[in-house]
Each structure stands twice: as structure tokens, then as C-alpha cells.
């Protein structure tokens, strides 16, 4: 059973609403040329705690959690969830003890902290290292898992064009 017309309509409406809200939020305050790191990383300290917490959880969820961790949870049981439980506890500790110090110092990112603590070379090495890791490890697996899910949901048993390659359903 594939997607019906109503499913496509809901998907398109969802995308339009998300893009619309994003554009509305970015245009309602300052002009585009007046933004700085505080606007991007901490929304100029204008958000409440529950919005920040929801944002942290939402930015952490991807195809990796929906597909890979669900499959691992099915195969291994609740042991796979210990990683996420520890992440929640760690976020609380960071928010209570470290975040006030970082915000008072005007530090919004890890590279900023490393530059203040050490120097610009350490900041650059760390930023380049994590960019490479994110692009070649995290992003590639997340895009593959997302494409695999879309293929299985929308195109059951058909060859699919993913990233310029025709993918045979028997291969995936």
C-alpha cells in the first residue's frame, strides 16, 4: 500500500507550514544584516526554557533515531536507550552548572570556548574535524536511512532515483 492523495496533500501542507513559520520568524525582528551569533545560537536570550528544551530534543532527532535506534531497540531491548537517558542527564548538568558561566562570558559555541581557552588554531582544528565527521559519518547515514525509508514507504518494489543513482529495491 503506497501513499494516497490525502497523504501527499498532508506532506506538502506540512512542508509549506514549516517553511512559512521559519520565514515569518526570521523576518519579524531585525533586518537580515543586523544579526549576530547571539541571535542565531540563543535567539537573543528571548526564548523561555520550554522552547529551548524542545529545540534541543527536536534538533537531536533524525532518521538515525527513528530508524536505527528503533531497530536496535527491537533487537537489543531497552539497553539501547541508556545512551539517550544519559544524554538527558548530561544536558541537565550542563544547563545548571556550566551554561550560566558560558552565557556570562559570551560563549555560545564549543569553538568559541576553545578559542578563549586556548587559541584560534585549536578552534579551527576542532571545527574542521567535527565538520568532516558530521558530513562523512552522521550526515551520510542519516540521509541514507531517510532515503531508505522514503523508498520503502513511497516506492514499494520499484527502482528509485536517489542522489543521481538508480537504486534497485533488491539491493537495499
Q: Is the pLDDT of residue 170 over 60?
A: no
* Dihedral (CA of 51, 55, 58, 60) sign: negative
Q: Is the pLDDT of residue 16 over 90?
A: yes
Mean of the per-residue pLDDT values of the chain: 76
Q: How far apart are CA 163 and CA 143, in angstroms?
A: 10
pLDDT value, residue 28: 61
Q: Is the pLDDT of residue 18 over 80?
A: yes
To the question of pTM greater than 0.85 for the whole model, the response is no
pLDDT value, residue 108: 79
Question: Would strands 160-162 and 165-167 be described as parallel, antiparallel, or unpaired?
Answer: antiparallel
pLDDT value, residue 156: 67
Q: pLDDT band for position 129 (50/70/90)?
A: very high
pLDDT value, residue 17: 93
- pLDDT tens per residue across span 51-85: 777 777 777 776 667 777 777 788 887 777 787 78
Q: pLDDT band for position 29 (50/70/90)?
A: low
pLDDT value, residue 33: 60
Q: Is the pLDDT of residue 145 over 80?
A: no
Report CA Rg, the chain: 20
Amino acid at each position: 500500500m503506497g501513499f494516497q492523495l490525502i497523504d501527499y496533500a498532508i506532506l506538502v501542507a506540512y512542508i509549506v507550514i514549516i517553511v512559512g513559520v521559519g520565514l515569518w520568524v526570521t523576518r519579524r525582528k531585525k533586518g537580515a544584516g543586523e544579526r549576530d551569533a547571539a541571535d542565531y545560537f540563543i535567539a537573543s536570550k528571548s526564548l523561555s526554557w520550554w522552547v529551548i528544551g524542545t529545540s534541543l530534543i527536536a534538533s537531536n532527532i533524525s532518521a538515525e533515531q527513528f530508524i536505527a535506534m528503533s531497530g536496535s531497540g527491537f533487537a537489543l531491548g531497552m539497553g539501547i536507550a541508556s545512551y539517550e537517558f544519559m544524554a538527558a542527564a548530561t544536558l541537565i548538568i550542563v544547563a545548571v552548572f556550566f551554561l550560566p558561566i558560558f552565557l556570562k562570558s559570551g560563549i555560545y559555541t564549543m569553538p568559541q570556548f576553545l578559542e578563549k581557552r586556548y587559541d584560534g588554531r585549536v578552534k579551527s582544528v576542532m571545527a574542521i574535524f567535527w565538520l568532516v565527521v558530521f558530513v562523512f559519518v552522521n550526515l551520510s547515514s542519516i540521509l541514507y536511512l531517510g532515503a531508505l525509508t522514503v523508498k520503502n514507504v513511497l516506492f514499494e518494489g520499484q527502482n528509485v532515483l536517489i542522489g543521481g543513482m538508480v537504486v534497485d529495491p533488491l539491493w537495499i
